[in-house]
């Protein structure tokens, strides 16, 4: 079946360094790619999303890139801060269905 | 905008009882709501998709008679865990979608269910 692979599963970085999380999807029909941040005991929160008609999107310290040909998309967090520590999930969806396939999650730890 | 609430946030119940969890979209009309289950340190497992006024569509392996879903209005969906057992203990999260012009799911804060 369709799936989304996410790597790495855990990531530790020093405060101020950058963090990159990568996802690969299999469904060619996917055209919407959100990223969620989940803190312990809470629901996921949307942090950024990208559609297949653009290759990159940036929002302050967070950016997402998409390579539709390779079916890869990545989350980039620059100047990481301790409050960025959380689990991050990528997802792939198709317009109009609202339904996603989620990646397996990346536990990011920012060391002060 | 796009706020989703869940109630209760935590519930402890005895084995054999039923528990109802509410999911509300507070500032938008949600044509579609999703219910997920999440095990510790795991990803989100989709249980079912519900559209307002229609029967829910359950994922393979999810017992529809055990996990009753009702989506009676554009702002409210409920999940009832019937005859709960300890193995039903989990973190249940809803999401809502349907804001005009977006494909985004907005998640609730989750409900921690513990069945004794």
Residues A46-99 have pLDDT tens digits of 999 999 888 999 999 999 999 999 999 999 999 999 999 999 999 999 988 888
CA distance B70 to chain A (A): 18
Question: Nearest CB to A42: which of B4, B46, B110?
Answer: B110
Mean predicted lDDT score pLDDT of chain A: 95
Phi and psi dihedrals of B42, rounded to 5? -120, 170
Q: Do A41 and B110 touch (CB under 8 A)?
A: yes
- Structure confidence at residue B102 as a pLDDT band (50, 70, 90): confident
pLDDT of residue B87: 96
- What's the gap between Cα B30 and its chain centre? 13
List of chain B residues whose C-beta atoms are within 8 Å of the C-beta of residue A49: 104
Distance of alpha carbon A75 from alpha carbon A29, whole angstroms: 21
Whether residue B53 has pLDDT greater than 90: no
CA distance A54 to chain B (A): 15
Instruction: Specify the DSSP class assigned to residue A96.
Output: T
β-pairing verdict for A10-14 and A106-111: parallel
| CB proximity B110 to A under 8 Å | yes
Distance of alpha carbon B31 from alpha carbon B96, whole angstroms: 8
| CB proximity A44 to B under 8 Å | yes
Distance of alpha carbon A38 from alpha carbon A60, whole angstroms: 19
CA distance A4 to chain B (A): 11
């Amino acid at each position: 079946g369709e799936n989304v692979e996410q790597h790495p599963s855990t990531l530790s970085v020093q405060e101020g360094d950058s963090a990159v999380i990568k996802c690969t999807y299999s469904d060619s029909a996917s055209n919407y790619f959100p990223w969620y941040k989940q803190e312990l005991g809470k629901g996921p929160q949307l942090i950024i999303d990208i559609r297949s008609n653009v290759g990159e999107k940036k929002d302050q310290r967070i950016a997402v890139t998409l390579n539709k040909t390779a079916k890869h998309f990545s989350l980039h967090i620059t100047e990481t801060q301790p409050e960025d520590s959380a689990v991050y999930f990528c997802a792939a969806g198709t317009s109009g269905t609202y339904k996603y396939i989620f990646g397996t999650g990346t536990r990011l730890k920012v060391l002060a | 905008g796009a706020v989703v609430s869940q109630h209760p946030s935590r519930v402890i119940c005895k084995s054999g009882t039923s528990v109802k969890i509410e999911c509300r979209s507070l500032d938008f009309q949600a044509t579609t709501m999703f219910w997920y289950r999440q095990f510790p340190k795991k990803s989100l497992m989709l249980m079912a998709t519900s559209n307002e006024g229609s029967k829910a569509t359950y994922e393979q392996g999810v017992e529809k008679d055990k996990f009753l879903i009702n989506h009676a209005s554009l702002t409210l969906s409920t999940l009832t865990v019937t005859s709960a057992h300890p193995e039903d203990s989990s973190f249940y999260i809803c999401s809502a979608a349907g804001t005009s012009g977006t494909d985004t799911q907005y998640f609730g804060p989750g409900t921690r269910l513990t069945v004794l």
